Amino acid sequence: MEIGISIALILASGLMILLVLLHKGKGGGLSDMFGGGFSSNFGGSSVVERNLDRLTVITGTVWFVCIIALGLLMKP
């Protein structure tokens, strides 16, 4: 059980990193420093951003549940 949740946690973590990096920069932060300002001018549609936001929230929820489940399973 712990191995399955650990694998789910690793997958959710990798997907979360990818999804956060896919968000366009809002300006003035680190994303502009590394070229995010340039790519955000070419932006996508608002529907794509909304779906990306939803997928990020769902992935974050899965990640959080995996952390809690592992904490409860490993508790002595």
pTM of structure: 0.72
State the Cα–Cα distance between residues 62 and 30, nearest whole angstrom. Answer: 27
**Cβ pair 63, 16 in contact under 8 A:** yes
Per-residue pLDDT of the chain (76 residues; tens, 9 = 90+): 999 999 999 999 999 999 998 887 666 555 555 655 555 555 556 888 889 999 999 999 999 999 999 999 998 7
Of 20, 8, 1, the residue nearest 67 (C-alpha): 8
